[in-house]
């Protein structure tokens, strides 16, 4: 029998609506054999998710979706199987989180300048996590009655070129990849179909990118084929996932994009290659 995995999921520790336990319960209903947690710029949810996965007999792949920049564009690099205790990784994640928290204040100031009375405290109360983002601002705008839906909040205020847009990237793709590697992890370009062009890919591969997320809920079949071909041509790994953010629009996406377990095995093999070699006992 084939086994399947969903390697792109968010919880309340970033902009998802599910707790780690709720997410695992959905994974079990979908019959997934393995799942990864890829919250934005944090690995905080991984401990609880690992525990819940163990109880549900689902394999857990720890991860995070790092915010990076390539050619002036924000791109996301998924880091899988990193050592969550790696000191440099922890330092950098803490910096990302501070940037995200400061950015909420900047976004709120811009909204206030547009005569939208909302406070950073209200947004932070909704976010209730260290890695707040625009979806939390959108939820606060809906809750206060300034927008009817989150989509409206993004369209009117939060999207790029809209009045309350604030960029947040700080790290180049090259730095993000190096950070993941030094923590023993595998670096995958998230949802390449969502960027302006494929021009971001060659420099990332040059910087040591391990793979491409070919399967994603926003990639139509033709696009998936295109990236599968690109992965083959460049000899890099293939991954995929739904990018489920919980109960946002209708049915949660978890399990709607599922990849064959074979891809998980290749991902794990790459991480194993990156782990430091065990110290060999001295022969007598
Ligand atoms: P941020 O990381 O703060 O820049 O916010 C980006 C996140 O906003 C993405 O990861 C999506 O989860 C979310 N997002 C983008 N557009 C929308 C939208 N129209 N409605 C709801 N969430 C969105
Ligand atoms: Fe998100
Ligand atoms: Fe993303
Ligand atoms: Zn994501």
192-215 pLDDT, tens digit per residue, is: 999 999 999 999 999 999 999 999
Q: pTM for the whole thing?
A: 0.95
Q: What DSSP letter does each residue of 62-127 carry, written as one string? A: EEEEEEEEETTEEEEEEEES--TT-HHHHHHHHHHHHHHHHHHHHHHHHHHHTT----HHHHHHHH
Q: Which residues does a 6 A CB cutoff place in the pocket of ligand 1?
A: 15, 40, 133-135, 138, 150-151, 154, 168, 245
Determine contact, residues 15/133, Cβ cutoff 8 Å: yes
CA 249, 12, 92 angle in degrees (round to 5)? 125
The 10s digit of each residue's pLDDT in 103-137 is 999 999 999 999 999 999 999 999 999 999 999 99
Which of 133, 161, 165, 167 gets mutated to test ligand 1 (max ligand atoms within 8 A of its CB)? Answer: 133
Domain annotation for the chain: domains and CATH numbers:
4-92+169-273 (3.20.20.140), 93-158 (1.10.150.650)
* Cα–Cα distance, 15 to 62 (Å, whole number): 17
């Amino acid at each position: 029998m084939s086994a399947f995995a969903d390697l792109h999921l968010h919880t309340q520790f970033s902009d998802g609506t599910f707790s780690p336990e709720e997410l695992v319960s959905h994974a079990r209903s979908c019959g997934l054999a393995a799942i990864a947690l890829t919250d934005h710029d944090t690995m905080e949810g991984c401990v609880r998710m690992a525990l819940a996965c163990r109880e549900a007999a689902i394999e857990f792949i720890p991860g995070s979706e790092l915010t990076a920049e390539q050619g002036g564009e924000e791109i996301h690099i998924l880091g899988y199987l990193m050592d969550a205790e790696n000191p440099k990784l922890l330092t950098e994640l803490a910096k990302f989180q501070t940037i995200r928290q400061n950015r909420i204040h900047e976004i709120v100031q811009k909204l206030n300048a547009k005569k939208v009375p909302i406070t950073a405290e209200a947004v932070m109360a909704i976010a209730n996590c260290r890695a707040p983002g625009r979806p939390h601002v959108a939820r606060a705008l809906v809750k206060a009655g300034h927008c009817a839906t989150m989509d409206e909040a993004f369209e009117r205020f939060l999207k790029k070129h809209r009045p309350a847009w604030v960029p947040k990237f700080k790290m180049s793709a090259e730095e993000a990849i190096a950070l993941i590697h030094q923590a023993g992890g595998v670096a995958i370009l998230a949802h390449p179909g969502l960027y302006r062009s494929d021009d971001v890919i060659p420099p990332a591969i040059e910087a040591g990118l391990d793979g491409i997320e070919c399967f994603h809920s926003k990639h139509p079949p033709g696009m998936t084929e295109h990236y599968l071909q690109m992965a083959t041509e460049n000899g890099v790994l293939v991954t995929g996932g739904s990018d489920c953010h919980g109960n946002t629009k209708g049915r949660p996406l978890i399990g709607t994009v599922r990849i064959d377990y074979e891809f998980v095995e290749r991902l794990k093999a790459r991480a194993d290659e990156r782990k430091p070699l065990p110290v060999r006992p001295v022969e007598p």
